[in-house]
A and B are shown apart, each in its own frame.
Chain A
């Protein structure tokens, strides 16, 4: 489909007096996110793991709103999936 917003994911960071700290914070946010997705995949079928990982991901999305959107992320709006196309 043309003009999906995901085509803009390569957008550069938005200029900010806090560019340096934002870059570092964003690295931390992405680490948490990737770790939570790995955890979720490893615990697939175990509700106690999957559901708690989803909660971490929802909170991580709030960090993305506060930090990572300034860096041109994220590629997915729904926190529980790495790619909205899978919804």
Chain B
């Protein structure tokens, strides 16, 4: 009986389930949620019927590719209609909806999301798997430096932390200085925030004469909202600034919290395969990618979410399966390097495929440079031009030889991305600072076109 007990896993039964049994569990749950969507969502049923698909066509997990994908455009198309404001994807009586949330709208019109109380419990369950894997335990006092507003991530983190017995300090409304002061006053041991804000808070603390690594007690940080915690140079900047372990997590309003980095920090994130089915599609051909080493588009299903089902949702995230299983013992597969970028962000510049995260990795590997940077791609005549603006790190003497530094930067960028850049060093503090989702990569060709 005691065999199932473990201090390493939130659920040792599911997290260490042998792959064959895990696939069987996923298949049963996948067929169940597909049927649920088919029977109850007018949006899904119409899509499926149009494609000539019926849930009875599912005989093995490999048949999942028969199920038509759903994208953001579908979700935008139905909202504002009855049952108001969610439209045709709502699968439960509207009286059962207890939560309204919406996407951030970073890539266009925001999408509304309904959840029942059961779904809300499920959100907290997703986050419990991930926080437990990152070493959060009941003794932790965790600070959430945000007003959560209508965005789901930190709400779900809050509810999960409560379920796990942590002590939660909600840090909304306060300004950054007041948050730093509150964290010091309460000796909080953990924090959850966007990478941009984690770095911004450290900078603010330094200005207040507080060194987060020595004067604060934060030893564990979970990042959300941006890919920074899986970019090695950004992760180590955050870890050094705070004297803390920094972990990544992946999720989205329409999907759920589907992936997490574990305490082993294996250079990637586990897909929570007990709760989600992750499929990767080749970026050019669309064929299913099951082997390591090929980047693809993540198509994902939340196996237990019922109010507005997420069935084969086109996440537009780019991921790649890792070669090796993780040493933590979980059988949940790893995505190497976390989310590598967005399908829409990975762009061809001068005929070369470029992921913005590669630029961040190079910039933040230079201790002489500050955290902020800005990339602008535009047309100059018939040619693409890519400009990168950087700032010197705070506290460095201004007379430093910035030309030599920029030459070094140019060299490293060329090695990493096969592209040449127009580089500019701007004065410290001139580039925009972001609290939530940063917009550091601007492709003006799309606007001009």
Contacts and interface: CB of A to CB of B under 8 A. Distances in A.
- Select the residue from B54, B116, B118 with max chain A CB neighbours within 10 A: B118
B117 A65 contact: no
A70 to B, nearest CB: 7
Contact of A77 (B21, B54, B306): B306
Contact of A1 (B39, B117, B274, B306): B39
A18 B39 contact: no
Nearest to B309: A77
Interface in A43-87: 54-55, 57-59, 61-62, 65-67, 69-70, 72, 77-80, 84, 87
B31 A2 contact: no
A21 B3 contact: yes
B21 A16 contact: yes
B96 interface: yes
B17 interface: yes
A17 to B, nearest CB: 7
A66 B14 contact: yes
Contacts, number: 88
A15 B117 CA distance: 31
A77 B56 CA distance: 18
B21 A15 contact: yes
Interface residues of A, number: 35
A61 B25 contact: no
Sort chain B's interface into a size bin: 35 or more
A55 B3 CA distance: 31
A69 B120 CA distance: 19
Contacts of A66: 11, 13-14, 125
B437 interface: no
Given A4-B35, A61-B121, A21 B11 contact: no
B28 interface: yes
B36 A80 contact: no
B383 interface: no
- Select the residue from A5, A11, A70 with max chain B CB neighbours within 10 A: A5
Given A16-B17, A16-B21, A5 B31 contact: yes
Nearest to A74: B32
Contacts of B31: 5, 8
A14 B21 contact: yes
A70 B34 CA distance: 18
B21 A78 contact: no
A80 B97 CA distance: 12
B36 A5 contact: yes
B375 interface: no
A3 B4 CA distance: 35
B118 A58 contact: yes
Interface string B285-319: 00000000000000000001010000000000000
29 contacts: A3-B56, A4-B35, A5-B31, A5-B35, A5-B55, A8-B28, A14-B25, A14-B28, A15-B21, A16-B21, A17-B3, A18-B3, A20-B1, A21-B1, A21-B13, A54-B117, A58-B120, A61-B121, A62-B121, A62-B122, A65-B122, A65-B125, A65-B274, A66-B13, A69-B28, A70-B25, A77-B306, A78-B116, A87-B40
Interface of B: 1, 3-4, 11-14, 17, 21, 24-25, 28-29, 31-36, 39-40, 54-56, 92-93, 96, 116-118, 120-122, 125, 274-275, 304, 306
User: 5 tightest CB-CB pairs across the interface, nearest first?
Assistant: A3-B56, A5-B35, A58-B118, A5-B32, A79-B118
Given A5-B31, A11-B28, 20 more contacts: A5-B32, A5-B34, A5-B35, A8-B28, A14-B21, A14-B24, A16-B21, A18-B3, A18-B4, A21-B4, A58-B121, A61-B118, A62-B122, A62-B125, A66-B13, A67-B13, A69-B28, A77-B36, A78-B96, A78-B116
